[in-house]
Amino acid sequence: MENIAQLAELLQQHTPEPGMFGTAIGRLSLIRANQPSEPVPAVYEASLCLIAQGSKRVSLGEDSMVYDASRYLIVSVDLPLTGHVLEASAGAPYLCCKIDLDTAALADMVAADERGAPRSNLPPLAIYPSDPDLIDAACRLVRLLDRPESIAALAPLIEREILYRLLTGPHGAMLHHIASADSRLNQISRAIAAIRSGYHAQLRVDDIAAAAGMSASSLHAHFKAVTRMTPLEYQKRLRLQEARRLMLAGGASAGSAGFAVGYESPSQFSREYRRLFGAPPRQDIERIQHREAYNVAL
């Protein structure tokens, strides 16, 4: 566990306060929490999540799993998950690094693999026992934040090493299918990208199906099998999460935030917001702000 301790030390150095932080390495984010959290719905990008300290539960529909310093999480496609930090304190904060998967590099590596895509019945979301080589590569990637002049040259090499280790690891078969242009999962990934790029506009299922190279009926069936949502439900999740961000980060009112993400009816926006987050917009934002003020006071 020596490498995990090193990773925890590095993450603590670069996360002086609770929150999720982007870094000078575009696909690397660092996360810290000083106390357990409430369940929070969010769309997780295709990524590797390595916890160095603490633990977290993630849920996709009715399925849930817990990961910690002894188990890493791999998300193969952008999925609507609910995350819940379980173990964290000011003295032993939850510390995690999230490394988004470079799908273009992944496709290049799969294309160069002459063995072809292996069969896979693996889910697009899974946890696996900790891998010392992955943790070592993550430590080297985070250390580059202290040597910004080396990031452009070395970060892509370390990220490629991480992709290689994932492709040759227990989830490799699934990643091969994601990167294969003619696979169902690659088609669903393209559908997700199309929805995310135009989440504020009216959803036209035929357009999304065309972007994915599928029929509308096939899209609906396979999309729900992967994400546990219909395309329309997925778009709704994106809209509500963006509205929440606008109110928290930008100080937008509930009405303006709802309108900005594509809602024409304030009552519909409030109703669907409450269904997802458990409280009407204003009450939810006040609750979050009160909790953040309390954490700062501590």
Structure-token pair, residue 206: 């035929």
Tell me how crowded residue 217 is: count the other CB atoms within 10 A of its CB: 10
Give the tens place of pLDDT for each residue, 143-163. 999 999 999 999 999 999 999
Q: What is the pTM of this model?
A: 0.86
Burial pattern 41-66, b for ≥16 Cβ within 10 A else e, equals: bebbbbbbbbbbbbbbebbbeeeeee
pLDDT of 297 reads 41
Which of the residues in the chain have pLDDT under 50? 294, 296-298
Percent of the chain whose pLDDT exceeds 90: 69
The pLDDT assigned to 118 comes to 63
Which positions ≥6 away from 203 have C-beta within 8 Å? 195, 231, 232, 235
pLDDT at 134: 95
Question: So what's the architecture of 234-297 in CATH?
Answer: Orthogonal Bundle (1.10)
Tokens linked to 229: 């949502």
pLDDT of residue 292: 61
Q: How far apart are CA 285 and CA 110, in angstroms?
A: 44
Tell me the C-alpha distance between 262 and 55, whole Å.
Answer: 35
Q: Which CATH superfamily is domain 2-178 in?
A: Jelly Rolls (2.60.120.10)
Q: Domain coordinates of the chain in residue numbers?
A: 2-178, 181-228, 234-297
Mean pLDDT of the chain: 90
As a whole number of angstroms, the distance between CA 56 and CA 32 comes to 12
Q: According to the model, what pLDDT value does residue 209 have?
A: 95
SS3 state at 74 = strand
